[in-house]
């Protein structure tokens, strides 16, 4: 059996799809379905059961072993301000899964985030030494919760109190199928494909920083299929543990992203640059780029989709089709 938390969400449902493609249907999905249509993310999937994540305390004592746990479940809203809810859902639940995996000797692969890097002034090196982690200053409650668990996990591992394999994935800007329930947290690919297809003008932020042209702010955009491929590779290589960046290692601009959509649709892209709200200017990141040497050194040598390749697959195989779900 394999356990996936956050299994009806964006990344979690893509893990389920990949596992089904491998012939694994002995999957225990842990999540809530909510009211945003997340059931559609698993409508094509086969699994053992779906268990509400809020019943975690009752669930864990009934489980004795699993081949692996993919812990993707979290409140991933970077604008959330409910500290108590974030504490329970993001931090304490992660601790509970770590302790269970340690006790049952089950490999644990969990979702961290590039939001742990804060404004990026300390760089984007996935150094897991506590001295390096202590220098990072996340800018929001979500990023703090992921960072707090990373530090807690590293301390437990240093004490020898850890699962036989553990891997924290610092996801960068992930896009791809099954993100539709995320509302404003959807990628710009999901938000703008229909607009570009119609010939509408799309809006990007002007630059308010010297050295960056309008729309030339840079992000490490990574296709969700590459993220799930990395995590399944880790499951197949139980000797690899630690905190790993998960991006492409190549930052691209928002204009590049929009042009990739236009190319996939064979449509021209009309862009209007608008002022960035003053409320977000002080903490706005102009550059993120994953350093990928650590994952490569662990032996993961598979190529990632380029921005154009990933966007083309997403747009043509999902977003322009009547059924956009994987």
Say if residue 77's pLDDT is above 90. Answer: no
Question: Mean pLDDT across the stretch 314-324?
Answer: 97
Say if residue 78's pLDDT is above 90. Answer: no
Instruction: Say what the pLDDT of residue 279 is.
Output: 86
CA-to-CA distance for 323 and 183, rounded, in angstroms?
Answer: 18
Question: Mean pLDDT across the stretch 116-125?
Answer: 92
Task: Dump pLDDT digits (tens) for 47-57.
Answer: 999 999 999 98
Answering whether pTM is above 0.85, one says yes
CA-to-CA distance for 6 and 228, rounded, in angstroms?
Answer: 14
Spatial neighbors of 188 by CB under 8 A, at least 6 apart, are: 175, 254, 257, 258
Task: Dump pLDDT digits (tens) for 1-18.
Answer: 999 999 999 999 999 999
Question: Mean pLDDT across the stretch 201-225?
Answer: 96
Instruction: Say what the pLDDT of residue 75 is.
Output: 86
Contact status, residue 273 vs residue 254, Cβ threshold 8 Å: no
CA-to-CA distance for 293 and 143, rounded, in angstroms?
Answer: 23
Structure tokens at 178: 């099954």
Instruction: Say what the pLDDT of residue 51 is.
Output: 96
Q: Locate tokens 């990928």: which residue?
A: 292
Percent of the chain with pLDDT over 70: 100
Question: Mean pLDDT across the stretch 240-251?
Answer: 97
User: 3-state DSSP call for residue 167?
Assistant: strand
Say if residue 71's pLDDT is above 90. Answer: yes
Instruction: Say what the pLDDT of residue 282 is.
Output: 83
Instruction: Say what the pLDDT of residue 284 is.
Output: 86
Instruction: Say what the pLDDT of residue 119 is.
Output: 87
| Mean pLDDT value across the chain | 96
Say if residue 212's pLDDT is above 90. Answer: yes
Q: Which of 94-103, 121-130, 179-188, 274-283 has the lowest mean pLDDT?
A: 274-283
Instruction: Say what the pLDDT of residue 116 is.
Output: 96
User: 3-state DSSP call for residue 195?
Assistant: helix
Instruction: Say what the pLDDT of residue 267 is.
Output: 97
Question: Mean pLDDT across the stretch 165-170?
Answer: 98
CA-to-CA distance for 324 and 312, rounded, in angstroms?
Answer: 14
Say if residue 283's pLDDT is above 90. Answer: no
Band the pLDDT of 241: cuts 50, 70, 90. very high
Say if residue 41's pLDDT is above 90. Answer: yes
Say if residue 221's pLDDT is above 90. Answer: yes
Contact status, residue 190 vs residue 223, Cβ threshold 8 Å: no
Catalytic residues: 142, 182
Instruction: Say what the pLDDT of residue 79 is.
Output: 79
Structure tokens at 224: 């969700």
∠ CA(174), CA(77), CA(182), 5° rounding?
60
């Amino acid at each position: 059996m394999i356990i996936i938390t956050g299994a009806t969400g964006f990344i979690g449902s893509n893990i389920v799809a990949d596992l089904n493609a491998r012939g694994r249907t002995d999957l225990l999905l842990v999540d809530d379905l909510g009211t945003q249509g997340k059931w559609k993310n698993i409508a094509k999937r086969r699994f053992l059961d779906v268990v509400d994540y809020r019943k975690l305390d009752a669930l864990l004592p009934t489980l004795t072993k699993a081949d692996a746990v993919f812990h993707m479940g979290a409140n991933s809203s970077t604008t959330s301000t409910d500290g108590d809810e974030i504490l329970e859902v993001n931090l304490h639940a992660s601790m509970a899964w770590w302790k269970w995996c340690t006790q049952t000797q089950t490999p644990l692969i969990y979702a961290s985030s590039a939001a742990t890097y804060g404004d990026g002034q300390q760089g984007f090196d996935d150094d897991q030494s506590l001295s390096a982690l202590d220098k990072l200053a996340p800018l929001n409650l979500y990023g703090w919760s992921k960072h707090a668990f990373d530090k807690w996990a590293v301390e437990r591992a240093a004490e020898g109190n850890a699962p036989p394999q553990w891997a924290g994935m610092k996801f960068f800007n992930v896009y791809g199928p099954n993100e539709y329930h995320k509302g404003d947290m959807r990628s710009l690919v999901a938000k703008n494909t229909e607009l570009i297809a119609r010939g509408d003008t799309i809006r990007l932020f002007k630059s308010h920083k010297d050295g960056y042209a309008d729309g030339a702010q840079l992000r490490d955009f990574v296709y969700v299929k590459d993220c799930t491929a990395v995590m399944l590779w880790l499951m197949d290589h139980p000797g690899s543990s630690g905190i790993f960046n998960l991006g492409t290692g190549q930052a691209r601009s928002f204009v590049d992203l929009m042009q990739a959509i236009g190319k996939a649709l064979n449509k021209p892209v009309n862009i209007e640059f608008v002022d960035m709200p003053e409320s977000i200017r002080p903490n706005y990141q102009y550059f993120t780029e994953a350093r990928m040497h650590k994952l490569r050194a662990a032996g993961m040598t598979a190529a990632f989709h380029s921005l154009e390749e990933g966007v083309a697959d997403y747009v043509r195989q999902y977003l322009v089709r009547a059924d956009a779900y994987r």
